[in-house]
Every structure is written in C-alpha cells, then in structure tokens.
Amino acid sequence: MNDLSSQNTDRKKWMSLLAKAPEGRIAALLDTATARPGFDWLRAPEVGSVMVRGRMGGTGDAFNMGEMTVTRCALKLGCGTVGHGYVQGRRKACAEAAALIDALMQTQAAPRIQAEVLDPLTEETEARQTSRADKAAATKVDFFTMSRGED
Amino acid sequence: MYVSVKGGERAIRNAHGWLAEERRGDRNVTELSLAQIREQLTLAVNRVMAEGSLYDPDLAALAIKQARGDLIEAIFLIRAYRTTLPRFGYSEPLDTARMTCDRRISATFKDLPGGQILGPTFDYTHRLLDFKLAAEGDAPQAHSQPATQGEVPHVTEFLNNEGLIEETARTGKAPPDLTREPLEMPAERALRLQALTRADEGFTLGLAYSTQRGYARNHAFVGELRIGMVAIEMEIPELGFAIEIGDMTVTECETVNQFKGSKTEPPQFTRGYGLVFGQTERKAIAMALVDRALRWEELGEDYVGAPAQDAEFVLSHADNIQATGFLEHIKLPHYVDFQSELELVRKLRRTVQAAQSQEAAE
C-alpha cells in the first residue's frame, strides 16, 4: 500500500513474519535474545476466526471462502509502548511473544531484536520457501516436439 | 417430529465408553498422534478443513482421530467448533496470482509462461498397491533444482488479448455470507461459490460428472489448475493498516468452456471457478464445473432442466452436515410418530377388510 508511512511498512513486514512463524519459534528466539520486559495486558490472548475471502474467477468480486483460526493480543510495556500480536492458529504463547517483539521493535531494543529475532526468522522462512520452490521446479515439464508429422 | 424419551442413560454412558475403547483399537498397536495424521494423512486433513470450512490442520487432525476416520463426522466436529469462535473480521480477498505454486498445470495451453509444474501428484502413477509402504522404511528424498519462478499470472488473464475469454466483473460489491444469513434463492454467484467450496466432495463430483455426460453439457477444459501457498491479509482496525495474518495452501481451478453465444453474449469462452482450502484438486475441478453450469441464467443460456443447473437443488443438498443431520435423525426415537402411523394403517386395513367382506356377502 502506498499510503503507509515507512514506519508502518516496516511494522507490517515484521508483524506478517511473526504471524506465520512455526509453533514456539518466536518465543525461543525472543528468550535467547533478551529477558522479557514487564508488561500489562491491554487484551489478553484470545482465539478467534477470520473469514477468508477469494475472488470469483481469481480476479473478480469477492466471495466468502471459509474461516481460519487466529490468536490475537495486545500489551503495554512499562515505558508505555503498545505491542500487538496476531498469529495464525490457536497459539496464545506465540501471540504473546509476537506482541512483545512488536512492542520492543518500537523501542531502543529494536536493532537487537531485528538482528537476533527477525533476521534469523526471515532466513528460516525463506529457506523453507526456497526448499519447496526447488522441489516444484524439479517437476517442471520440458516439452520437446518429437515429430510434427508434416515432413 | 420426534419426542424426547427418558431412560437409557446407563446404556448411553456405556456405549460412549465402548466407543472410546474401540477408537483406540488394539492396545498393542501404537497410538496414532495428531502430528502423524496432520503430516501423513494430509489430504484427509485438507478435506476436513475444506468442508468443515475452517482452516486449521491441527484441529482437523484431532477431529479425524476423534471421528475414527469418519470424515463427515470429523467435518461435523469442525463445524460445531467453528461456531464457538468469535469472528475477528474478514480478510482481504486472496491474491492467487501471488501464490507460490507447488503445482500448476494447464490442459489448454502447453507453453504457458511460468511453465507446467506437476508437483506432488498421483497423476501418472500406476495405481498399483505399493507394498513397500507396508514395510517401514525411509521415504526417498524429493529432487530439487533451483527455482526461477517469479509471479505466476493467471493463464486466462494473459491469453485474453483477443477478448475471446469472458471477463470477470470487479465492482467492489461486498459478498453475502452464508454463515451469517440463511441461504435464500435466487442465490447470486458469490453465495453459490461459498456454498460450493464447502460442499460435499462426493456430491459435487457427481454433479460435475453429470454435466460432462450431457446434463447441461458445457464442455469444460481445465484452463489452469494450481495448488500452492498464499498469504492471507487482513486490515487490523487498531493499527489502521493490513498485515499478513497467516498463509494457507489452496487449490484453484479455472475452466474455460466453449460457448456458442446466446441472446445476450457473443461467442466466446466462458469460465467456471473453483477455489478450495488445501490440496483438494478433485473438489476444485468439480466446483468449477458446477459453478459454470449454475451460471446459465447470467449467460443467457437455456435452462434444460439438468440437476446441475438447478441452484435450489444443488445448494440445498450440497452440504453434507445438513444432509447427514436430517438423514441420520430418522434413526432417533420416533415412537409417537410411529404409533400414530400404526393406528392409521390398522384403521385403513379394517376399512378395506370390512369392504371386502361386505362385497363377498353380496
């Protein structure tokens, strides 16, 4: 989206990354990087659903396809910084870790969290995607014409 | 109507106890874990997610285990669970052009940009039982080769330079939601697609097959079939911008159908569309065929009385939870109903017998 400030663009990027991380992974990276700061819940972790939409014909108007599970929460650090966690599935501990990382990324701790949590997570995600894409590439068909029959 | 009956609590408790024991089966056999179901019975998990209308592989695996592998029972469990969840909102419509494709084939265009990718398919296997799977052993590793694939545009989009393929309208209209308002006729296409994507696979397959055999023949080609991972974006109100809240595997099928033209439309290729959770190829193709058959009215085609053209018939019977609920309720106690039927039949018989003996006497 063009109307996002660059701050929002960055935030969108890390929140999207955290939402899709494998079970337990963000908490493990967070706890290796730093001791967890104290916080108050603004919204304790809750599990709910999101109705996923598709487009008719892939490009037309929207239709409702079905739901997915999502866990969300919001918290406030001692310094007043607010962090939001949105993760796929029913994963309250992951949502809490995601919200803490979201909050810490808006504080002085950002460079450290970026280097020790978000960067490794990005690499792992890309490695998983590449591995799958490479297997798909190996099943790509190379057509060659054997005989056209007009000779 | 059925009337509640008291009694039988002990029998029910014991039946459930036995069910739990039978579910476990022989205790000398290792118990199945949810991870095993999720990772190794993936296509069953996908079907339960698609027809349960809730994308959550762990929950679907649990439902399959609890249902002892009865997939409709598992779907029932998922549908029931789904109703307990608060709804956080609606996603942005999926951008399937940005899908990372595990599989992407076209039966109509051999040299499509991005190429034909077979993916982990059963196609071209010999359908002979593989007894190697009966013995425990290591599975072979898949081959890899560096991927160059960028975005993979929809086949029909870039082949539409001549205008020979029907355009899909994009007006920005908000779609109706079957989970919020009951199904009402006439059903617009968005509502039909929502009903079809969670419809019973067998029912959808049978209807789609009927269109191929000539009941509302519309001669479908698979323009494109793709399976892969797509990101789900949602606008987060408290943030004021959209983030990706997850990703999911979906199967998308777009058919192109020969169309001679009608009172309102020129000769062109029309399209049917299937989009289903998970790797669910048969269902997605069947959905596209049925979608196309149901579009007869908006395309100005004739209604030939085929089942697949009848939206009321298709949509009212496609949901296997509604169907099984009504079907299976007839095994529950109907003692009072039946008592009155019994009285009626006895009375009718007495009347007939009386008439017969009077005839004989005359």
| A19 interface with B at CB cutoff 8 Å | yes
Apex B80 CA angle, B77 and B84, nearest 5: 130
Q: Which of A16, A56, A138 sits opposite B193 (nearest CB)?
A: A56
Question: Tens of pLDDT along B228-263?
Answer: 999 999 999 999 999 999 999 999 999 998 777 777
Question: Tens of pLDDT along B346-360?
Answer: 899 999 999 988 888
Q: B131-135, B191-195, B274-278, B327-331: lowest mean pLDDT where? A: B131-135
Averaged over B113-133, what is the pLDDT?
89
CA distance from start to end of chain A: 56
Chain A residues whose CB is inside 8 A of the B106 CB are none
The answer to whether residues B157 and B165 touch, using CB atoms and an 8 Å cutoff, is no
Q: What is d(CA B183, CA B191) in angstroms, rounded to the nearest whole number? A: 8
Q: What is the mean pLDDT of each run of 10 residues along chain A (151 residues)?
A: 70 96 95 94 97 94 97 96 96 97 95 95 94 91 69 53
Q: What is residue B227's predicted lDDT score, i.e. its pLDDT?
A: 96
Question: Tens of pLDDT along B147-167?
Answer: 875 677 888 777 677 778 888
| B341 interface with A at CB cutoff 8 Å | no
Q: What is residue A4's predicted lDDT score, i.e. its pLDDT?
A: 56
Task: Please name the residues in contact with A128: beta carbons below 8 A apart, sequence gap of 6 or more.
Answer: none
Q: What is residue A117's predicted lDDT score, i.e. its pLDDT?
A: 96
Q: What is d(CA A43, CA A84) in angstroms, rounded to the nearest whole number? A: 9
Interface test with A, best of B46, B158, B269, B273 (most A CBs within 10 A): B273
Q: What is residue B336's predicted lDDT score, i.e. its pLDDT?
A: 78
Q: Do B154 and A59 touch (CB under 8 A)?
A: yes
Q: Do A133 and B85 touch (CB under 8 A)?
A: no
Q: What is residue B247's predicted lDDT score, i.e. its pLDDT?
A: 95
Q: Cα–chain-centroid distance for residue B233?
A: 23
Measure B68 CA to nearest chain A CA, in Å.
Answer: 23
Q: Which of A47, A55, A68 sits opposite B93 (nearest CB)?
A: A55
| B33 interface with A at CB cutoff 8 Å | no
Overall domain count for chain A: 1
Domain presence at residue A149: no
Query: Searching chain A, which residue's CA lies closest to the CA of residue B114?
Result: A140
Q: What is residue A21's predicted lDDT score, i.e. its pLDDT?
A: 95
Q: How many A×B Cβ pairs under 8 Å?
A: 238
Q: Do A135 and B194 touch (CB under 8 A)?
A: no
C-alpha dist (Å) from residue B328 to B76, B321, B322: 13, 10, 10
Q: Give which of B272, B313, B274 is closest to B293, Cα–Cα.
A: B272
| B236 interface with A at CB cutoff 8 Å | yes
Element (H, E) at A28: helix A25-33
Chain B residues whose CB is inside 8 A of the A92 CB are none
Domain boundaries, chain B: 9-82, 96-119+149-324
Give ipTM to 2 decimals.
0.92
Question: Tens of pLDDT along B18-48?
Answer: 999 999 999 999 999 999 999 999 999 999 9
Q: What is residue A2's predicted lDDT score, i.e. its pLDDT?
A: 46
Q: What is residue B156's predicted lDDT score, i.e. its pLDDT?
A: 79
Q: Do B254 and A130 touch (CB under 8 A)?
A: no
Q: Do A60 and B169 touch (CB under 8 A)?
A: yes
Q: What is residue A1's predicted lDDT score, i.e. its pLDDT?
A: 43
Residue span of the structural domain in which A18 resides = 8-131
Averaged over B210-227, what is the pLDDT?
90
Chain A, 73 to 132: residues with Cβ < 8 Å from chain B are 74, 84, 86-90, 129-132
Q: Give which of A63, A41, A60 is closest to A51, Cα–Cα.
A: A63
Q: What is d(CA A93, CA A22) in angstroms, rounded to the nearest whole number? A: 12
DSSP designation for A6: H
Domain presence at residue A139: no
* Identity of the amino acid at B181: E
Which residue's structure tokens are 């996923």? A52
The answer to whether residues A47 and A134 touch, using CB atoms and an 8 Å cutoff, is no
Interface test with A, best of B98, B117, B226, B269 (most A CBs within 10 A): B117
Ranges B103-112, B149-158, B305-314, most confident: B305-314
**What is the percentage of chain B residues whose pLDDT exceeds 90?**
62
Chain B, 76 to 95: residues with Cβ < 8 Å from chain A are 82, 85-94
- Whether the pLDDT of residue B273 is over 60: the answer is yes
Could you tell me which residue, B187 or A4, shows the higher pLDDT? B187
Interface test with A, best of B38, B56, B173 (most A CBs within 10 A): B56
Q: What is residue B3's predicted lDDT score, i.e. its pLDDT?
A: 57
